[in-house]
Amino acid sequence: MSLRTRISPLPQIPRARARSRIPIERIPQPRENRMAATWRLAKPARIAAALRTAQSRNGGGWFVAGASGDVGQKESVTRTIAGREVVFWRNTTGGLVAGPGACPHLGALLDKCPVIDGTLYCRWHGLALTQNGDPTWSPYRAYDDGVLLWVGLPTEGEEATDRPALPARPPLPESVSAVITKPGICEPEDVIANRLDPWHGSWFHPYAFSHLVVDDDASDDQVLVVDVTFRLSRTWGVPVRAEFTCPDRRTIVMHITEGEGAGSVVETHATPLGLGADSLPRTMVTEATIAYSERPGFQVARWLSPLVRPGIRQTARKLWVDDLAYAERRYELRQRGEFPG
Ligand code: FES
Ligand SMILES: [Fe+2]
């Protein structure tokens, strides 16, 4: 008898139904007293082991800095990442340029500086910078993957790589993508640990998930395989199978592998920003949802993507209000030396 049948007293959603032609099913949401408790399954040691495996991966010094659309052709943008000011702009072919965010002349923050033909002009005295750098200013590695912006910073304990470790994605021209960002008072590991505990899904986010079961036979420290119903309402839901993996130490990815939207991916990236005025760490969660479906109706949804995107963002934000509360609580307990695990 497998763990999932032994522990869960409620009837499970048969896997075959996840492949039916109509994705939406009548799956009434159970009340809490009819739901299976998951705390026995969500073992602190198991989550900690999966987190250690994730943290052993090389980040390559790459950090997600925002959405591709955040940096245009005409003006620079600055961000603080891992305690360092970083400036971003675009070269003549639209490629991303990144480098130290302080002007080498008198230290102006290189934010909102005019960019003409790929050259940035400092707003204070007009010093010109290009992607080639000069003896006073050296660019960082930079990469625009079509959805997200990345910067490669020299990072202790990480071997620099040419490109970030990107997870498999559906074809972007046939997908709808949306990006949200939300800062929290915690460290990147708290964000990753939250997602390495899928067992909280039905309990903590009943408006979004139900009937969540981790398939222990298919899961290990490298991958968590989950059968779950995405809630559309208290009565209707969409059952899917999903896999969670960590391609680098600051990223956790959910791939939908069966059911409606198979091939879709949700990438959660945790970027350390630095310390806030209260001396506590700030971490930016950047979540990219790349929704894909082979269903003919989905192409209509794709054409309507300016209307669909706000809905995707709203759902992701709502989840991250709760999940950041979880991550911040985990950080607080760790600081107090009271985290059980
Ligand atoms: S501070 Fe940038 S040109 Fe003077
Ligand atoms: Fe969650």
Q: How far is 115 from 129, CA to CA, in rounded Å?
A: 9
pLDDT the model gives residue 209? 87
CB atoms within 10 A of CB 10: 12
CA–CA distances in Å: residue 190 to residues 103, 114, 225, 300? 34, 38, 21, 38
Task: Say how many domains are in the chain.
Answer: 2
Encode the chain (341 residues) as per-residue pLDDT tens digits.
Answer: 333 333 333 334 444 444 455 567 778 778 888 888 999 999 999 999 999 999 999 999 999 999 999 999 999 999 999 999 999 999 999 999 999 999 999 999 999 999 999 999 999 999 999 999 999 999 999 999 999 999 999 999 999 999 999 999 999 988 989 999 999 999 999 999 999 999 999 899 988 888 899 999 999 989 999 999 988 778 878 889 999 999 999 999 999 999 888 899 999 999 999 999 999 999 999 999 998 887 776 776 667 677 777 877 888 888 999 999 999 999 999 999 999 87
Q: Which of 206, 200, 252 is nearest to 229 (CA)?
A: 206
pLDDT the model gives residue 196? 97
- Ligand with smallest separation from the Cα of 252: 2
pLDDT in tens, 180-207: 999 999 999 999 999 999 999 989 998 8
Question: Is 306 found in the same domain as 184?
Answer: yes
Neighbour-count burial for 30-52, b at 16+ CB within 10 Å, e otherwise: eeeeebbebeebbeeebbeebbe
Question: Is 250 found in the same domain as 170?
Answer: yes
pLDDT the model gives residue 190? 98
pTM of structure: 0.90
Question: Is 187 found in the same domain as 138?
Answer: no
Question: Is 313 found in the same domain as 209?
Answer: yes
Residue range(s) defining the domain that contains residue 251: 17-57+166-336
In-domain check, residue 7 = no
Question: Is 49 found in the same domain as 86?
Answer: no
Question: Is 143 found in the same domain as 199?
Answer: no
In-domain check, residue 157 = no
Question: Is 105 found in the same domain as 40?
Answer: no
**Which CATH number is 75's domain given?**
2.102.10.10
Question: Is 67 found in the same domain as 45?
Answer: no
- Ligand 1 atom nearest the C-alpha of 106 is 1
- Structure tokens that stand for 80 in this block: 């603080």
Count the alpha carbons within 13 Å of 105 in the hemisphere toward its beta carbon: 12
**Which CATH number is 222's domain given?**
3.30.530.20
Q: How far is 207 from 187, CA to CA, in rounded Å?
A: 27
In-domain check, residue 226 = yes
Cα of 125 to ligand 1 centre, how many Å?
Answer: 5
Question: Is 259 found in the same domain as 140?
Answer: no
pLDDT the model gives residue 304? 66
In-domain check, residue 11 = no
- Ligand with smallest separation from the Cα of 121: 1
* Angle, CA 25 vertex, CA 218 and CA 299 arms, to 5°: 90
Judge whether 87 and 101 are in contact, CB under 8 Å. Answer: yes
Q: How far is 155 from 178, CA to CA, in rounded Å?
A: 29
Cα of 109 to ligand 1 centre, how many Å?
Answer: 9
pLDDT in tens, 239-289: 899 999 999 999 999 999 998 888 999 999 999 999 999 999 999 999 999
Question: Is 230 found in the same domain as 109?
Answer: no
Write out residues with Cβ below 6 Å of ligand 1. 103, 105-106, 108, 122, 124-127
Closest Cα to atom 1 of ligand 1: 106
- Ligand with smallest separation from the Cα of 194: 2
CA–CA distances in Å: residue 283 to residues 83, 131, 226, 233? 11, 28, 27, 32
Phi, psi (5° rounding) for residue 277?
Answer: -60, -25
Question: Among residues 97, 124, 152, which one ends one of the domains?
Answer: 152
pLDDT the model gives residue 4? 37
Q: How far is 68 from 86, CA to CA, in rounded Å?
A: 16
Question: Among residues 123, 152, 181, which one ends one of the domains?
Answer: 152
CA–CA distances in Å: residue 267 to residues 71, 129, 130, 167, 212? 20, 33, 31, 8, 19
If one residue of 87, 109, 124 were mutated to test the ligand 1 pocket, choosing by the most ligand atoms within 8 A of its CB, it would be: 124
